Structure 1
Amino acid sequence: MKKNLLDVSGSSLLPTRIVRIRELEYLIGRKRSTIYLLMNRKSRYFDPSFPKRIRLSSSMNGGIGWFEHEIIGWLHGKAAERDNSISG
């Protein structure tokens, strides 16, 4: 069985995994409404560093998802911000 691979850094290949909204809620500890506020440029909760969603179908009402490695990277960035604010 062939795995989907995504060249993230230009040198190493990582398996790609798509996270849907329910799993995203679990991973980041936020509900759907807050996730959409993080993505909304007009929201006061907008976070430009939050990973961009991807469309899983050509339909406007089709599913969306996020790359798991981008979500994990975003969480690591938040942890680094926390650590920097504590030490500095």
Structure 2
Amino acid sequence: MENLNENTQQNVLIPSMLQIPRMLPLKQVVHYTGLSSTTIYDMLDTRSNRYDPSFPVQVKLSKGRVAWVEREIAEWLESKMAERVH
């Protein structure tokens, strides 16, 4: 019985240590950043005059489906706020 409890406790601990990143679809990135989808894709395009290498690159989840890591978008927004002149 003691081994069963040890295994159960280990299984309970594993999920709490696993950090699954929250993925944001383009619509939410548009909402959180206040940027249009066109601007976002221009910021990712190295040939665009709006290219921004600091903007997070999307993750391809499947054919025709991309999303951005929420933490990376939040960090990008925080870096923009930190650049403000007071």
After TM superposition, the score normalised by the length of structure 2 is 0.76
Pick the structure with greater CA Rg.
2
What amino acid is the match of 1:79?
A: M
Structure with more relative contact order (C-alpha pairs < 8 Å, separation 6 or more): 2
Q: Please list every run of at least 4 consecutive aligned residues from structure 1 whose deviation after the TM superposition is greater than 4 angstroms.
A: none
For 2:22 and 2:66, the matched residues in 1 are separated by: 13
User: How far is 1:51 from its partner?
Assistant: 0.4
Percent identical residues: 34
Structure 1 unaligned regions, length at least 5: 6-14
Q: Does 1:28 align with 2:33?
A: yes
TM-align CA RMSD: 1.5
Match of residue 17, structure 1, among 15, 22, 28: 22
What residue ranges of structure 2 are gaps of 5+ in the alignment? 1-14
Aligned partners of 1:52, 1:73: CA distance in 2, in Å?
13
Instruction: State the number of aligned residues.
Output: 71
TM norm structure 1: 0.74
